[in-house]
Amino acid sequence: MSAARILRRHPFYNEAANAAALLEEVNATLISLAEPYEVLMVDDGSADQCAEILTGIAAAQPQCKLIRLWPNGGQAAALYRGLIAATAPVIITMDGDGQIARATFRGCCRDWRTPTW
């Protein structure tokens, strides 16, 4: 895989119920861009099965990388750890609970080549 141009960073904490579905949609959106990408999944010391689910996704999908934190350090620590591991010039962050509207994510991906700011 060539160097990632887009990096998607997700902190997860006890998100076993929705992690796989969220990442499936994220990967489908990123694939549609036809650009090399990487997804950093940061498990922030989950007490549910989230870490095991993310481990399986990372094993099956080489563009998905797992960073595990223990013990739980909170959202800021997970964000920081993901950002220092990032290597791509374009970084998009979204929590593992999907609180940021997926349509917003798709819009960011669509518009990243021609920013309007």
Q: Report the CATH number of the 6-111 domain.
A: 3.90.550.10
CA dist., res. 51 & res. 66, Å (int): 9
The pTM of the full predicted model, rounded to 2 decimals, is 0.84
Q: What is the pLDDT of residue 30?
A: 84
Is the pLDDT reported for residue 36 higher than 80?
A: yes
Q: Please list, in sequence order, all residues whose beta carbon lies within 8 angstroms of the beta carbon of residue 108, skipping any fewer than 6 positions away.
A: 92
The set of long-range contacts for 98-107, using a CB threshold of 8 Å and a minimum separation of 24, is 98/18, 98/22, 102/25, 105/26, 105/29, 106/29
Sign of the CA dihedral with 53 first, then 55, 57, and 63 last: positive
- At 32 the pLDDT is 82
